[in-house]
Amino acid sequence: MITRIVIEKREPFANGHEFPVTGAYEKLVGRAYGEVDPKKPLNKILVNLDKAPRNQNGRVEYWTDIFILKPVDMQRGNGKIFYDAPNRGSKRILMFINDAPENNNPSSLQDAGNGFLMRQGYTIVWSGWQGDLTPTEHWLTAGVPAATNKGKEIVRKVRTEIVVTAEGIYSRPLSGDARVMSYEAAAPDKSQASLTVREKSYGARTPVSQSEWEFAACKLEKQTGKMEMKPSAKDLCLLSGFKPGHIYEFIYPAKNPLVLGLGFAIVRDLISFLRYEVEDKAGNSNPLTSGGIKKSIKHAYAWGRSQSGRFLRDLVYHGFNQDESRRQVFEAISPHVAGGGRLYLNYEFARPVSSSQQHTNQLDPELFPFAYNVLKDPQTGREDGILKRPKSDPYIVHTQTDTEYWQKRGALAHTDGKGKDLPIPKKVRMYFIASAQHSAPFGSAPRKGACQQLTNPMPVGDALRALMVAMDQWVS
């Protein structure tokens, strides 16, 4: 539950521009604090929640950044939240539905793009859910605790893949991605760790000698030719440099796993609070109430792109579309370009930034169930599906492009483990946006990038706007 909500900044959005029907919008920036009861059945599924430190009430605490764009006069809005689940801390809904330029701190009229969501009257909400992000200005982050085994550090061997695309890189964080924090090496003993390199995902691994790498952050000083090195339990230094396009696999004993599955509870609790409560436990008004006394939100929808679309699928699968009072959180969810995957989040030493793709991270978990239907896995005989709680399951509008069929097992969202087409459930609509690709924001130009041919700049905003209107009509 949300115990305290703090609005640190409230200012006019788009310099007070009056959107048709809805009027002016305002921007709210702040932080929400909450706690989770590890004894409640809905929360017990969270890995290591029982090993997290507890407050005097026996609950596990968290915090989350919040960012809200709302009508100044909530009575002129449509009474609906549109929650944009951040992708690795970044806001995406205005880019892909409003055709706005990329900006993680939307403030101007330009940042509203074509103003679609504002003209529809939505209150747009963002919050952090990924607890391992590196603190960065305007990113939406969350604070979750590390688990311990009765006060002692938890140590396990973890695996990470490192791939670089340019020459001259000698050091990388152990996470393999500078956007996320690394799990600290339990000891600087290189004999307990191993580094290998291969050219292809299923190619032969070549061991890298322990004399060629260090637990350190390093860089080659071009003028002197000397290697500057700073010992670090969270970085890997390869003295000869990383070869572009090669897959480096590092396995090492790590400590202090974060309880990252709390991200599901954070979103559940925040949206539930904004929908159903008038004030928090400290007496602070719900910022979406009308005049601080009247509830103004009647419905809540969610949209997520790629990683955050998989987050929303996983949130529903794990039962977090109902709050601790068994009230529904989102009536409808739209995962965009999520493919058939869920998320590497509710695990010990999880890495939600990682994504198993066509050529990299093949060993990261992409686990059954993939489809919304409840069906039997031919490999294990287990029956499961994403939609298995009729009272709380939301309506789903699932959209994908051809990229997801190549990169993210897109077919598994609508076929079984033997490749047979599945009937689409009554609460699901699935759309393939032909000739589109995974990421082509409005106004982007063709480019080669890592590919031989130019990318396809066709935007998807027209299709998504039509589908969001249809989704709203379907629900309400």
Domains of the chain with bracketed CATH: 2-144+259-475 (3.40.50.1820), 155-255 (no CATH)
> From residue 308, how far is each of 18, 36, 37, 93, 231 by CA, in Å?
31, 22, 25, 11, 34
pLDDT tens per residue across span 451-471: 788 888 888 999 999 999 999
pTM for the full model? Answer: 0.95
Number of residues assigned to the chain = 476
Residue type at position 436? A
> From residue 166, how far is each of 74, 196, 241, 325, 382 by CA, in Å?
50, 19, 10, 51, 44
Q: What is the pLDDT of residue 444?
A: 79
Q: What is the pLDDT of residue 291?
A: 67
pLDDT tens per residue across span 152-175: 999 999 999 999 999 999 999 999
Q: Beta strand pairing status for 332-336 and 299-305?
A: parallel
State the Cα–Cα distance between residues 169 and 353, nearest whole angstrom: 21
pLDDT tens per residue across span 386-396: 999 999 999 99
Cβ atoms of 11 and 229 within 8 Å: the answer is: no
Sign of CA dihedral 338, 352, 98, 266: positive
Q: Identify the three-state secondary structure at position 110.
A: helix
pLDDT tens per residue across span 378-424: 999 999 999 999 999 999 999 999 889 988 889 999 999 999 999 99
> From residue 9, how far is each of 31, 94, 102, 388 by CA, in Å?
10, 21, 21, 40
Q: Beta strand pairing status for 206-207 and 194-198?
A: antiparallel
